[in-house]
Every structure is written in C-alpha cells, then in structure tokens.
Amino acid sequence: MKIAMIGWEYPPFKAGGLATHCYGLTRSLSDKNVHVDFYMPKTKHSSNNDKSNLKIIEVGETEIFPYDRPDSKEIVGNFYEAVYYYNSLVVSKIEKNINKYGKYDAIHCHDWLTIKAGISLKEKLGIPLVLTIHSTEYDRAGWLYPNQWFIDIEKEGMQKADRVIAVSNFTKKVIVEKYGIDPNKILVVNNAVYPIAEGSKKEIVLFLGRLTIQKGAEFFLRAAQKVKDFEPDAKFVVAGAGDMLPRLINQAIDLGISDRTIFTGRLTEEEVKHIYSISSVYVMPSVSEPFGITALEAISAGTPTIASKTAGFSEAFKNCLRVDFWDTDEMANKIVSLLRYNPLHKTLADEGKREIDLFTWDSVADKTIDIYKGVT
Amino acid sequence: MTSVCMYFEVHQPMRLNKFSVFNIGKEDSHSEYFNRKLNEQIFTKVAKKCYIPTNNLLLELIRKHDGNFRVSFSLTGTFVEYCQEFMPEVLDSFKKLFRTGSVDMMEETYYHSLSSLYDEMDEFEDQVKIHRQMIKNIFNYKPRVFRNTEAIYDNRIAKKVADMGYKGILTEGTEKILGWRSPNFLYKPTNADIKVLLRNYNLSDDVGFRFSAQMWKGWPLTADKYANWMSQIQGDIINLFMDYETFGEHQWTETGIFDFLRHLPGEVLKHDHMDFVTASTAVEKYDAVGEIDVPWAISWADEDRDVSTWLGNDMQLACFNELKDIGRKIKEKKDTELLATWRKLQTSDHLYYCSTKGLADGDVHAYFSPYDGPYDGFINYMNILQDLKQKIQTF
C-alpha cells in the first residue's frame, strides 16, 4: 500500500500536536509495510528519518505557522497566499512523483491547511481522500468569532473526503453538528504517545501549550492564585509561546503570583521532556481541545493531569482528574489535593502510566490502515 | 429436603456534599458533610421503584402460600434513618412483613461499616449493639443470625460474632474457602461455635447480575426454569443472597424481574423436596457438615471476593487509616456529636467509591458512585476527614 500524506509540520519542526501525530503515525505505518510519502513545507531544520518505507518530501520555501491568528489585513493576505501557494506546489510535486513512480492508493490530509491540495488531487486523478481533523476553526478560536474562510475550506474538505478521521468523539460531534457531515463516514482514532521518562518530582504545577485563547492559560493562573496560600512552596510554570504572553504576564502580576510563576517561552523538545518529568501536576484547562496529546505526554512521565472536561482526552482517558475550564475553584481544589495527598498522587501516577500503554502509535496505525483499506 | 434461603441486603449510604480543600477548618462545616437533598432524592426514587412494590409483592406471596414462602432481611441503620426521615410508610411495610412470621431480620453493623477490620473489635461490637437496639425498638426482636457488611468474613470476625451470642453468620460461598466442597450445606469455623451460611454465588448472580443480560445463555430466566435448576441440586440449603435493590432498581420492572419473583415461590414449592427457610430456621434445622478456615477476609464483592473493593489501593488505605486514627482521638475526647459524625463516615460506600478496579468491576463501581470517578471520590472524602480531624483538635 502506498500513501501520499500531506502535512505541514514534522519534528523537529513543531507547533502543535499535529506534528507529533504525523511523526508517530508515519513511523508506525512504515513499520507495518505501508509506503508513505510525507509532503510538507520546506523548513530550516532537516527532518530526521530512519525508516525505509517513509520519505519526507519538502516542498517550496515558505514556513507557515497555521496556528497564528492573523490580525492585520496585510498579513492575512500574505498568509492566505502562502497557503494557496503551498497547496499548488504540493499538487504539482505529487503529480510529478506519480508520473515517475506510479499512483498512490490514497491521499491523506491533515487539517485545513492541506485540504485544497487533497481535493484537487482527488478530483483530477480520482485518488481516494482521507482527511484527519486535529482541530477545527471553532476550537482554535476558542468558540469566539471563528473565521468563515477557514470554516469554508474545512467544510469543503470534509464533504469531499471519502473518510474523515476525528481525534475524539468530541471532535466528531463538532464535525457532524457544525459542519453537517454524515456521521457514518467519520471515524474516531484517538492520539497516542511515545512515553517520556519520569524524573525526580519537584513541587511544580505545569501548564504547557500555545498561549492562545484556545488553551486557557488564564484559567490556570487564576487557579494558581487560589492555590498559593494553601501550598506556599508550589511553583507554577507556564511553558510555551503565543500571542497572549504579554497579557498573561500582566495577569500574573495583577494576581500577585509573579514571584512564583515562571514563563519559559518556547521550549526545545529536550526541555519539554524535562519539565514534564519533574512536574508534580499537569493542568490542561483548554477552552476547546479536540484531543490534547500533551496530557498523554505528562501522564507518561508520571505526572497526574487535570484536564478540561470537554477535551477529547478526558473522554478517552480514565485515570485523570476532570474540571470545567472556567471552574478555577475546583481546579485549585484538585491541584492542592494532588500536592497534599500523596496516595492520590501515587495512585493517579501509577494507574495513569498503566493506562498509557493502551495509547500507542502502533494501534493508531492499525486503525488508520483499516480506514485506508475501506476506501481503496 | 433442600431448603431455599433468600436473603436481601437493604442499604442506602449517606452520600456526601461537595467538600473542597478550601472548606477544611471552616466553622460548622461538619453539619454539612452529608448531602441531604441528594440522599432524599435517591432514597425516594429507590423506594418507589423497589422497596414499596417489592415489599407489597412479598406480602402478597407470603399470604398466598400460607406462610410457606419465607425471606430474610438485614436493614442497615442508615437505611432505617432514611425511612424515618423521608418515608415512614416504607418502614411500616417492613413491620407488616415481619408480623407474618415468615420474615426474619438479621443483625449487622448499624453503619454498614468496615469496623470488623479494625485493629480492635470494640467499635465493631458497639455498632452491632446499636443495630441490635434498633431492631429491638422497631420489631421487638433479637436477631440470631449475623451478616457483616457485604458478607465480609474471616476467622476473627466469626469468633467475635459467636462470642456475641449469634447462632449463625453468612458469607460468600467462594472456592477460596471451600475448595471442592459445595456451598449448599452449613459449615462451622475452625475456631468458633457458630454455623456459617454460604452464598451460592452462581444462582444468586443469575438473578442479581445476569437476569437481564441477553448475551447470557440462561436468558430469559423464568421462575420455572430457575426452580428446576435448584431442584436438581444436591444439598441441604441453597442460599440466594442479593441486594434488595435487584428488584426494580438494578433490574428494572421492564426486565420482568417482578414477574419472575411473583412466580418463584409457586414454582419452587411445586417440587415436593423443596421448601423455603429463613436464616434463623436454617441454622436450627441443619447441622454443619464441615469446617472452614478463613484467615484472610473474604466478601461477596467484585470478582475478587475479598476486601480489595474497599482497601485495594493507596487512596483507600490512606482513608481507612485516617478514619481509624480519627476514631481513637474522638474516643479519647469522649465527644458524642463528633462520634456520631465519625460513625456515619465509616459507611463502607465512601471507600467503595475510591476503588480503581478496572474493566467489568469498574463499571459496577461507576454505576453506584455519585462521583466522577474514584479520584474525585477520594478528594471529597479525604477533605472531609481532614476537616473532622481539625474539629477534634479544636474542641
């Protein structure tokens, strides 16, 4: 079986869970004797690959940050142009490769940014199209002022794809209800994780993610303030970069917790692993979260996790704590409980690590292969 | 002759209010430990679905069969308090049943607690005595057979119960203690003079768990089919022990559970070699055929049939130890109000909610739990225990 997969990020270049997903999926597919050509925009870093069935093919010259929410008209114009340009380059590159090496059994796209290319290949060459939705425009906008331009592209892709893969039932529901897609062609495949080693735990409460409305870091800070008086030694780490960083720093000052809150900025992969490994509590207070791979990463490192109730992760994972993202009292109650009650911390860490074993890329690949077989 | 001994556990726990770490140490918070509204809601719902209709049906059946249909109950103290507080007519209907003479009442700890597993047996004895007093007040009766919380049993408990004057005690008929032997006889402990009734878990669970399971090869289970199965059994006694809520609550009316119960006495009594006995009659009528030795506690709960349901993980052990520790302190202080609160917190359900057992058992746990999982259960319960602990220190 031969698949053309179109993405836009791949480790070490990484802005979000999509890169992690594509990395795990393509490697496990290639172990299962599926030939994957992974197309992505050119980056400054070269992607590492040691799998013989897997080829990383970089296209064009632009780096695109699809999670950025363009504000000014000018940037928006450039941004859209860059996306169209990337898609058209991908189409011609794939056509060229087909002429040279033969046809693909299926095209597999990830999220809105690659949809145009997928549709045009399907329409021109009649190759079946599979589309994975890692997040929708509604998620990225935190359900406030979603951009119709993105929604239209997403909708067209979902309609034209032969199968849509949703990363959770939560996302499947959004695809059915907000995009009007037939539920029978949507399959849920949860994300997975390559486990991270556990380190020696410090009294650190961690937030890790893009600092955008979607990820809810402001609620983390409000909970931190409530924890402060109860756990005087606790430190709060906000790891990640994003357009909300200045506002969050001001918020921490206003809340009187700037002396115990650390803003790390963007971390390298090694630093990310380290901070997971030494944190005692991970909080994922996302306003909207189709899945939330970071929760799996934290738990694999022995860090109990408090996740937003609406996150796809918390519907799929038993051994975690769940809160409403806006309920910072309850979030604080759970943070304090985890810091204070060792048996709770230990049981969640142990049971969580056991459950993590169910979330392997190997099984994601198996499910994805079944879906390929259904369309070819 | 083979006797059928039907016994029903009737229990409702005192579910707790949401109690966060920020409530710990606040004044008067201990009066707010218990969620009166939720407890009333659940109690009245279950009363309408189960207690009242099933009591009515049993009364009708006992009359129809001239007292030859017999059953046994144990009512927990918390259950009786709910009756008195919310629906006295439920308790009246139990009294009516008892007056037929075909109904036996069994003893247990008033609070449906794990006090039989404490280091000392004094709290256990106290709670049994409170229950004894309650049964005397309501039914003017002194139970002769004891059943411990969820049939928890070991040699030490058997000895203690025998010393307290009971003639019988019931527990699970598990292979762990029986080996090749049949549960359909009475046994005695190696270390005490008391008869042990053993639950026939296959037949009991056919009704309690599998009745509505369409995947099960016995489905649909009818009274005549079930009576036929029992008639083929060699033995003195078939002990069918289950939650009373099986009728109308765990198994809904629509499953046909009431029709099953309605026809069961007639179908059993069709067989000349079969009758019904109460637990008290059973221990008079039959002799123990062998000894059982149970150094480690067993119970009727989950697949494991041990106490891991309540004491299976670190969170549960922490709560259990905290609970025992608080008790010692309260008893030193001799504070009756805090003592009463502490006792209500001993109800085993609070620990049950903190169980992290997976798969099939986990589903059962989730079904009964008012929490979003065991971890929330632990946080809430532990916060309350911490608050109570602070109360003792400040009194």
pLDDT at residue B359 in the model:
45
Asked if the structure places residue A277 within a domain, the reply is yes
Q: Is pLDDT above 90 for B232?
A: yes
**pLDDT given at position B362:** 54
Q: Closest partner residue to B372 among A322, A332, A337, by Cβ?
A: A322
- In this structure, are B81 and B209 located in the same domain? yes
Q: Which residue of A has its CA nearest to B314?
A: A343
Of A318, A320, A347, the CB nearest to B315: A347
Is A115 a member of any domain? Answer: yes
From the CB of residue A268, how many other CB atoms can be counted at a distance below 10 Å?
A: 9
- Our CA-based measurement puts residue A344 at a distance from the nearest CA of chain B, in whole angstroms, of 6
Q: How many domains does chain B have?
A: 2
B27, pLDDT greater than 50: yes
If asked whether residues A122 and A256 sit together in one domain, one would say no
Residue B299 domain-assigned (yes or no): no
Domain end among B238, B267, B292: B292
In tens digits, what is the pLDDT along chain A, a chain of 376 residues? 999 999 988 887 766 778 899 999 999 999 999 999 999 888 777 766 888 899 999 888 666 555 555 555 555 667 778 888 889 999 999 999 999 999 999 999 999 989 999 999 999 999 999 999 999 999 988 888 899 989 999 999 999 999 999 999 999 999 999 999 999 999 999 999 999 999 999 999 999 999 999 999 999 999 999 999 899 999 999 999 999 999 999 999 999 999 999 999 999 989 999 999 999 999 999 999 999 999 999 999 999 999 999 899 999 999 999 999 999 999 999 999 999 999 999 999 999 999 999 999 999 999 999 999 999 8
* Per-residue confidence band for B31, with pLDDT thresholds at 50, 70 and 90: low
* Count of residues in chain B: 395
B114 to chain A, minimum CA–CA distance in Å? Answer: 20
For residue A330, the chain B residues in CB contact (below 8 A) are 20
Residues in A touching B372 (Cβ below 8 Å): 322
Overall size of chain A counted in residues: 376
The answer as to whether A197 is a domain residue is no
Q: Which of residues 179-238 of A touch B (CB under 8 A)?
A: 226, 230
CB distance A230–B314 less than 8 Å? no
Establish if B72 belongs to a structural domain.
Answer: yes
Q: Is residue A32 part of a domain?
A: yes
The verdict on B199 and B250 lying in the same domain is yes
| Distance from the B228 Cα atom to the nearest Cα atom in chain A, whole angstroms | 43
Instruction: Please indicate if any CB of chain B lies within 8 Å of the CB of A347.
Output: yes
The C-alpha of B20 sits at a distance from chain A's nearest C-alpha, in angstroms, of 6
Domain total of chain A: 2
Report yes or no: A351 at the B interface, CB cutoff 8 Å: yes
A311 to chain B, any CB pair closer than 8 A? The answer is no
Q: Angle, to 10 degrees, between the axis of helix A169-179 and the axis of helix A148-160?
A: 100
Looking at residue A8, its pLDDT comes to 84
Distance CA B340, CA B337 (A): 5
Cβ distance A351 to B356 less than 8 Å, yes or no, reads: yes
Please report, for residues B2, B269, B277, B278, B283, the alpha-carbon distance to residue B272 in angstroms, rounded to integers and kept in the order given: 10, 7, 15, 18, 21
Tell me the shortest Cα–Cα distance from A321 to chain B, in angstroms. 7
Residue A166 within any structural domain of the chain: yes
Same domain? B273 vs B331:
no
Question: Is there a single domain that holds both residue A170 and residue A285?
Answer: no
Q: Give yes or no: residues A25 and A50 share one domain.
A: yes
Q: In chain B, which residues have their Cβ closer than 8 Å to the Cβ of A342?
A: 314, 318
Q: Are residues A302 and A165 in the same domain?
A: no
Specify if B301 maps to a domain: no
Residues in chain B within 8 Å Cβ distance of A230: 21-22
Cβ count within 10 A of residue B60? 12
Q: Is B376 on the interface with A (CB under 8 A)?
A: yes
Q: In this structure, are B259 and B382 located in the same domain? A: no
- B239 and B383 fall within a common domain: no
Whole-number percent of chain B with pLDDT over 70 = 97
SS3 of residue A243 by DSSP: coil
- Cβ–Cβ contact A334 with B under 8 A: yes
Looking at the structure, do residues B99 and B26 belong to the same domain, yes or no?
yes
Domain assignment present for B256: yes
pLDDT (0 to 100) of residue B46:
97
| Residues of B identified as active-site | 150
Is residue B221 one of the residues assigned to a domain?
Answer: yes
Contacts of B26 (CB under 8 A, 6+ apart): B387
A174 and A42 within one domain:
yes
Write the pLDDT tens digit of every residue in B280-339.
Answer: 999 999 999 999 999 999 999 988 999 999 999 999 999 999 999 999 999 999 899 999
- Clarify whether residues A20 and A59 are in a common domain: yes
Question: Is there a single domain that holds both residue A24 and residue A163?
Answer: yes
**SS3 assignment for chain B:** CEEEEEEEEECCCCCECCCCHHHCCCCCHHHHCECHHHHHHHHHHHHHHHHHHHHHHHHHHHHHCCCCCCEEEEECHHHHHHHHHHCHHHHHHHHHHHHCCCEEECECCCCCECHHHCCCCHHHHHHHHHHHHHHHHHHCCCCCEEECHHHCECHHHHHHHHHCCCCEEEEECCHHHHCCCCCCCEEEECCCCCEEEEECHHHHHHHHCCCCCCCCCCCCCCHHHHHHHHHCCCCCEEEEEEEHHHECCCECHHHCHHHHHHHHHHHHHCCCCEEECCHHHHHHHCCEEEEECCCCCECCCCCCCECHHHHCCHHHHHHHHHHHHHHHHHHHHCCHHHHHHHHHCCECHHHHCCCCCCHHHHHHHHHHCCCCCHHHHHHHHHHHHHHHHHHHHHC
Q: Do B52 and B78 share a domain, yes or no?
A: yes
Does the pLDDT at position B113 exceed 80?
A: yes
A1 contact B CB<8A: no
Interface A–B counts its CB contacts (< 8 A) at: 57
A86 and A163 fall within a common domain = yes
Q: Do residues A240 and A266 make contact, with C-beta atoms less than 8 angstroms apart?
A: yes
Q: Are residues B187 and B143 in the same domain?
A: yes
* Averaged pLDDT score across all residues of chain B: 94
CATH number of the domain bearing residue A300? 3.40.50.2000
Which DSSP symbol is given to A47?
A: P
Interchain proximity A321–B314, CB inside 8 Å: no
Question: Is the CB of residue A353 less than 8 Å from the CB of residue A106?
Answer: no
- Residue A38 shares a structural domain with residue A162: yes
Regarding whether B288 and B368 lie in a shared domain, the answer is: no
| A262 inside domain | yes
Does residue A198 form part of some domain? no
> What is the domain range of residue B162?
2-292
User: Does residue B105 share a domain with residue B49?
Assistant: yes
In a domain, B300, yes or no: no
Q: Are A154 and A209 in a shared domain?
A: no
Which residue from A322, A336, A348 is facing B21, i.e. has the nearest CB? A336
Whether B382 sits inside 8 A of A341 (CB atoms) is: yes
Domain membership flag for residue A195: no
State whether A341 and B375 contact (CB < 8 Å). no
Q: Are residues A174 and A233 in the same domain?
A: no
What amino acid is encoded at B313 in this protein?
Answer: N
State whether B245 and B326 are in the same domain: no
Distance CA A364, CA A17 (A): 14
A104 and A121 assigned to the same domain: yes
Nearest residue of B to residue A304 by CA position? B375
Residues of chain A neighbouring B317 (CB-CB closer than 8 A): 343
Say whether A334 and B378 touch across the interface (CB within 8 A): no
pLDDT at B26: 85
Candidate from B314, B315, B379 with C-beta closest to A334:
B379
Contact (Cβ atoms closer than 8 angstroms) between residue B72 and residue B7: yes
Contact A333 B21 (CB under 8 A): yes
Measured between beta carbons, the chain B residues lying within 8 angstroms of A337 are 21, 379, 382-383
For residue B177, tell me if it sits in a domain: yes
Residue in B19, B26, B311, B314 to test binding to A, most A beta-carbons within 10 Å: B314
For the stretch B186-227, pLDDT in tens is 999 999 999 999 999 999 999 999 999 999 999 999 999 999
Residue in chain A lying closest to B359 (CA): A318
Segment 316-345 of chain B within 8 Å of chain A by CB: 317-318
Task: Tell me the residue range of the domain where A211 lies.
Answer: 204-356
B21 closest CB neighbour out of A230, A346, A347: A230
Chosen domain end from B292, B325, B360? B292
Helix (H) or strand (E) holding A133: strand A129-133
Q: Which residues of A touch B379 (CB under 8 A)?
A: 333-334, 337, 341, 344
Shared domain for B282 and B342, answered yes or no, is no
Task: Say if B298 falls within a structural domain.
Answer: no
- CB contact under 8 Å between B379 and A344, yes or no, is yes
Residue-level pLDDT at B28: 63
